[in-house]
Structure 1
Amino acid sequence: MDLKRKVEIAVISDVHLGTYGCHAKQLLTYLNSIQPKKLILNGDIVDIWQFSKRYFPKPHLKVIKKIMDMAADGVEVIYITGNHDEMLRKFSDMTIGNISIVDKKVLDLDGKKAWFFHGDVFDVSIQNAKWLAKLGGYGYDLLILLNRATNWCLEKLGKEKYSLSKRIKNSVKGAIKYISDFEEVASDLAIENGYDYVICGHIHQPKILIKENKFGKTMYLNSGDWVENFTALEYQFKRWKIYNYNKDKLSPFFADEDIKEMEIKDLIAAITIVEPEKKKKKKLN
């Protein structure tokens, strides 16, 4: 019996594969629990800014393998580029099988227009001072590492986990204003262009809300992240909802058996392998 939940669209963003803050095991569990028609990767999936050959563990490779397997099984995978994976923008509008790479995407959902993009275009710190934004990224990663150590101690003491970064964000007025401005600008642009939904990532703040101005209204949605919040967006039966991993019980879906048993070298080979037929064609040419 197939226990996977069928959803029309699943949206994930800000996974940051290749960093210490990424929770790849939890994401893999989630991906194994759903059967979407479309999987939208809304930016910052692989963190190319902070990519290091020394750190790309097995669970991170498993996530890439799982996404590729989903595409091979007929799921339409739409990779929308973000700022941490902006190097992929040189491949924008490229399609390989069921996987496409784009900078933004507009979809018709049951007669309503949905506008998907990562959201870094609104971030002045990235546009005007990229080196400063990258420095902030390393600081954030260090904070996540510190947070993991703190939570390990709290768990040993039988106490509830604590998010340092969320605490800092929620207590700094500048951060609160930035998030509010981001939501306002995205929503105003969506209303101006006649979009019923505007779906972003980037700011690691999962949210669904109706935004209205004198010109009209739109639904603003943010998929959050897989560093602190473990959230995704799902569209089914003409409705959107925020999926929260921490509020779900997904133990049966830890990993597909074939992926679970694979060694790192096998995972790398599965991701990068060239089929023999393709090799033969290259030799003939």
Structure 2
Amino acid sequence: MQNFRAVFISDVHLGSKDCQAGYLLSFLQQCQSPKIYLLGDIVDFWAMKKQVHWGEPANQLLKLLLEKAEQGVEVIYVPGNHDEAFRHYAGKNFGHIQVQLRASHTTLLGKKLLLVHGDEFDKDVNFGAMHAWLGDTLYDFLLFLNRWYNRARRITGGHYFSLAGYIKSKVPGAQQAIGRYRDAVVAKAKRAGFDGVVCGHIHHPEIRLQDGIIYCNDGDWIDNCTALTEQMDGTLALYQWTEQAAQIASLSLQSVPEQPKAA
């Protein structure tokens, strides 16, 4: 059992064919934290309009989150674009899960983090309608490759590998879009007087210090299977959780300068 001060999760996409709910369920069963932040696209209403893929791991995952909230864990849900219907319930609770349009978290070392899903920054990334359509189409194809590649790996006794994530990391256009998104998110946090920001949306797990701002993207549970955590010593760390658990990135906040507060 691993203990954290906070856990940040987004882009689970429950109800879609590529959702890796079983891995997330395993992660949450093996960690304890007084705070869990669900930063959007937890349920994928867009995918379910076409076809519903909802297995027992999805049921168990929702049950576990509700149980943790009932037992005193502070569970805050910031809806994204795929579950934007929940934005109408901001300020209300589902069970003991709090729904908010955006949230904030203060780390052990007093760093204040803005918490958003991130779809509000699409306008800063979009290269036009054709590029957006092409990007969505190519990502769907990558997920198709990822799905069948990992089925083959399981048959031969191999562990999960994010083929989609690997291919995206090699595509210059994808890296350019990720950079524009990161710039927009960091600029927003800086204008608002936060020390950092945690987001999701683009399915690209990352921790870095940019322009004096802590930038964290907690990734997704479609192809990367990652969660962001605040360790008990205040360090921020990304975990990838499949058949094998691994810490893939971390950032100590000891030397991060405090941002001037907004008026």
For 1:243, the equivalent position in structure 2 comes to 239
Deviation at 1:134, TM superposition (A): 8.5
Report the CA distance shift for 1:113/1:125 in structure 2 as closer, same or farther (over 3 A).
closer
What is the distance in 2 between the residues matched to 1:133 and 1:90?
27
Shift in Å at residue 228 of structure 1? 1.2
Once the two structures are superposed, what CA deviation does each residue of 1:57-94 show, in whole Å capped at 9, x if it has no partner?
11111111111111111111100111111111111121
AA aligned opposite 1:206: P
Residue in structure 2 matched with residue 150 of structure 1 by the alignment = 149
1:227 aligns with 2:222: yes
> What is aligned with 1:275?
none
CA contact under 8 A between 1:106 and 1:116: conserved in structure 2?
Answer: yes
Query: Are 1:6 and 2:3 an aligned pair?
Result: yes
User: For residue 206 of structure 2, what is the amino acid of its counterpart?
Assistant: K
Partners of 1:80 and 1:245 in 2: CA distance: 22
Q: Is the 8 Å Cα contact of residues 6 and 35 (structure 1) preserved in structure 2?
A: yes
Distance in 1 (CA, whole Å) between partners of 2:157 and 2:34 is 41
- Tell me the residue number matched to 2:258: none
What residue is the counterpart of 2:260 in the other structure?
A: none
Q: Which residue of 2 aligns with 1:36?
A: 33
**How far, CA to CA, are the matches of 1:160 and 1:34 in structure 2?**
21
Tell me if structure 2 keeps the 8 A contact 1:13–1:45. Answer: yes
Aligned length: 242
Which of 75, 78, 83 is 1:77 aligned to?
75
Given the two structures, how large is their TM-score scaled by the length of structure 2?
0.81
Distance 1:127 1:83, change over 3 A: farther
Report the CA distance between 1:196 and its aligned residue: 1.0
Structure 1 CA distance for aligned equivalents of residues 136 and 100 of structure 2: 23
User: What is aligned with 2:185?
Assistant: 186
* Counterpart amino acid of residue 61 in structure 2: V
Partner of 1:23: 20
Deviations 1:179-220 (A, max 9, x none): 0111111112212222112101011111111111xxxx1110
Evaluate the alpha carbon distance shift between residue 126 and residue 218 of structure 1 in structure 2; reply closer, same or farther with a 3 A threshold.
Answer: closer
Read off the aligned partner of 1:229 and give its amino acid letter.
N
Q: Which has the higher helix share?
A: 1
How far has the Cα of 1:118 moved from its partner? 0.6
How many Å apart are 1:164 and its aligned residue?
Answer: 4.1
Equivalent in the alignment of 2:208: 209
Q: Which of 21, 46, 49 pairs up with 2:46?
A: 49
Q: 1:271 maps to what in 2?
A: none
Residue 110 of structure 2 corresponds to residue 115 of structure 1: no
Quote how far apart the aligned CAs of 1:102 are.
Answer: 1.1
C-alpha spacing 1:105/1:27, structure 2 compared with 1 (3 Å): same
Divergent runs of 4+, >3 A:
125-130, 132-143, 154-164
The percentage of counterpart residues that share the same residue type is 36
The letter for the 2-side match of 1:151 is N
For residue 35 of structure 1, what is the amino acid of its counterpart? Answer: Q
Matched letter for residue 173 of structure 1: P
> Does the Cα contact within 8 Å between 1:120 and 1:126 map onto a contact in 2?
no
Change over 3 Å in CA distance of 1:178–1:134 after alignment to 2: closer
Q: Deviations over 1:29-82 (max 9, x none)?
A: 001011110110011111111115642111111111111111111111100111
- Amino acid paired to 2:192: N
CA distance in structure 2 between the partners assigned to 1:227 and 1:81 by the alignment = 17
Q: Distance in 2 between matches of 1:29 and 1:115?
A: 27
The change in CA–CA distance for 1:153 and 1:5 in structure 2 (over 3 A counts) is closer
Question: Relative to structure 1, is the Cα distance of residues 112 and 158 closer, same or farther in structure 2, using a 3 angstrom cutoff?
Answer: closer
Q: Give 1:144 shift.
A: 2.2
Distance 1:54 1:44, change over 3 A: closer
